Every structure is written in structure tokens, then in C-alpha cells.
Amino acid sequence: MLKRRSVLVGLGAAALSPSLSWADAQSPSFLSAARAVDGSYHLCGLSDGGAVLFSIPLPDRGHAAAAHPVRPEAVAFARRPGRFALIVDCATGQEAHRLTPPPDRHFYGHGVFSADGSMLFTTENDLDTLDGRIGLWDAANGYARIGDMPSGGVGPHDIERLPGTDTLVIANGGIATHPESGRTPLNLATMRPNLAYLGPDGEMLEVVELDTALRFNSIRHLDVRPDGLVAAGMQWNGSEAEHPPLILTHRMGETAQLLEAPAQSQRKMIGYVGSITFQSGGAQVAVTSPRGGLMQVFDAETGAFLSDIALEDACGISTLSSGQSLITSGVGSIWGYDAGALTQLGQTSWAWDNHLIAI
């Protein structure tokens, strides 16, 4: 996840904008959706030490969020197949605006802004064809819906932008679902996930598919390093007897690399990566598996497995510009991880949802 505030300082972007910038805001370092003790759903802003700075009620369970590159605002998405996204003023911690997709679309839970912040891209489902779409919203004009374009696959989930460009990278998970049949997969017999690179105008630049033996590996979550290296976390929908690699790294124009832990650690992941992040200045890739109650760390360059740590129901993970990562769990824990050392930063009453988003 890009550290937008540090980027901004570098660009002097605050000076270009007459309105409030991230630098003016007492803004959080992270956002995360969460469930409160009373069962209600919220979006929370967290400090870099893991303190909860604000919470905003959500109509239903949330999922991920995306930060605007200039204005101190973020968009928080409904969990799929949700139909809301909240624009949050991070200076005040208030809901500023709400997005609703067209009637024949729903959100998948992730989105990303264009480099200049004028456009918001959201992963969506076409409810008639079950093809993946990327929704386009005019972030310079009150988030008016502009239209949409093909995602290059089925079940697009996470979406990121290659740093310094408006090239989009999309994790097309490959799994077709329809809200009328809940979250149950409709196309396991034919599923074929991919990692797709799209120009901002929808031009398909590159599509990466893994070997057919891995076609049950749903490519779902992404992180991008400043030099354009993409890391993707996968979720295995094939035989529980198999423990295939759950991480790929890829750079445009090159071949994808698979990262795999030794057999016993790999098995403990239960075929599931919940979140993925580059950490330690991009030298490492870390993933969480709430199903396995495990975090794994790999060398981003060599792909070598470095370590694993048991963390109950851990899922959210994201990295500060310092290189330190924060990890959240469904049982309220917040941990810091830096240079191989894990520190418990807090034990809250919030059930932290799948993703922790650095802003």
C-alpha cells in the first residue's frame, strides 16, 4: 500500500490544492471495517500505534477502503455483494457522501483512485452476465457515475494502481456469484481466475493466468510495490488434500513467480490468504490466513520462506512507511510486526474485519 502522505509531502501537492489536504487533517494512518460488541458494523480510523481515532456506522458489514491521493477522504466499501460505498471525510471522521451502484451491479468490496484523484475505480459484478466490471466514478464531480468497463474476467475482487501511472491491476477471482444465491460459487466447474492489467480507458494491457492445475486458486488480494512489483494472495477452491502456493508476484511483461512455504507451514494456511502486504521497505511479502490462524513472511525478491507466526483469526495486515506492519484480528487484537519481532499493540472490543488499509 502506498504511503500517500509521504508521497504528498514529496510532491508538495498540498500547495497545489486550495482545499484541505491530508497534511491538514488529524487523519488516521489506517482504516478498517469492524463489528462492534453490539453486532453493529462500523468503519474505524486507526493511528499508526493502533489507537481507534473514530468510528462511523455502516449500513451493513464493510470490507476494504481506498484513500484519495490528495484530499483527506477515503471510500469504504460494503462487503460483497453489497450496494453501498461511503465517502468519509478523514479530517472530521464523518460520512460525506454515499455511492450506490446501478441496479444491475453490486460492489465486490474494493476500489482505487486514479493517480490525480479525479476518478474512482470500483470492482463490480454484472448481475445479468456475471461478468466482472470496473465501475467509473467522477471523484472531481461529487462522485457522479460515469459508466463501467470490463474487468477482464469473472468475480473481480481487489484492484490497485501501478505507482506513478493510471494502469490498473485487477484480481479477477474467477468465481461467479449472484446475490440471489448468496455467496455460493456458481461456476466452480469452469472457473479460471486471472490477474489483469487495464489502461484507465479500459484497454487490456496484459492478462496473467496460472497453470490450469491451479485454476481453482482464486486470485483475490493485491499489494503493489513502488517499483511496480505486484503481489497477489490467493484462495484455494480445489481439493483440501492439496496445499498449493497461495502467493504470486508479478511484474508487467514478465512471468509470474509462485511463493510457497515448507509443507507443514503451507498446510496450516488451510488454502486461504486473507490479506497481503509488502513490508520492510518492500523486501518482504507477508500474508495472513484467518482460517489457519497464521501469518507467513517471505523474501519478496527470492521468494524464500522466512517465518510464520500463529495469530488467532488474524486477517488485516498493512504496512507503514517506516516498514512496520500492523495486523488486526477478528478477536480484537492489534499487533505490530517489525524486523521479525511481533508486539501486541492493543486488545480492543472490535472484531476487525478482513482488511486494514494504510492511507
The C-alpha atoms of residue 154 and residue 130 are separated, in whole angstroms, by: 7
Is 291 among the residues that bind other proteins (CB under 8 A)? yes
The C-alpha atoms of residue 5 and residue 311 are separated, in whole angstroms, by: 30
Residues 4-23 that bind other proteins (CB under 8 A): none
Nearer to other proteins, 229 or 276 (CB): 276
CA dihedral 91, 97, 98, 101 (to 10 degrees): -110
Query: Cβ of residue 171: shortest distance to other proteins, in angstroms?
Result: 12
Nearer to other proteins, 122 or 235 (CB): 235
Nearer to other proteins, 114 or 318 (CB): 318
Q: Three cell numbers at 236? A: 484455494
Binder of other proteins out of 167, 277, 284, 329 (CB under 8 A): 329
Cβ atoms 197, 205 nearer than 8 A? yes
* Amino acid at residue number 332: G
Binding mask 155-174 for other proteins (x = CB under 8 A): --x-----------------
- The site that binds other proteins (CB under 8 A) totals a number of residues, namely 42
Cβ atoms 191, 185 nearer than 8 A? yes
Q: Which of 212, 179, 178, 167 is nearest to 194 (CA)?
A: 212
Nearer to other proteins, 3 or 61 (CB): 61
Residues 64-93 that bind other proteins (CB under 8 A): 79-80
Nearer to other proteins, 186 or 306 (CB): 186
Binding mask 338-357 for other proteins (x = CB under 8 A): -------------xxxx---
Strands 275-279 and 284-289: antiparallel
The C-alpha atoms of residue 246 and residue 214 are separated, in whole angstroms, by: 10
Cβ atoms 195, 172 nearer than 8 A? yes
Query: Cβ of residue 292: shortest distance to other proteins, in angstroms?
Result: 8
The C-alpha atoms of residue 150 and residue 56 are separated, in whole angstroms, by: 32
Q: Give contact residues for other proteins (rule: CB under 8 A).
A: 35, 63, 79-80, 109, 130, 157, 176, 178, 180-184, 186-190, 220, 235, 238-241, 267, 272, 274, 290-291, 293, 312-315, 329-331, 351-354
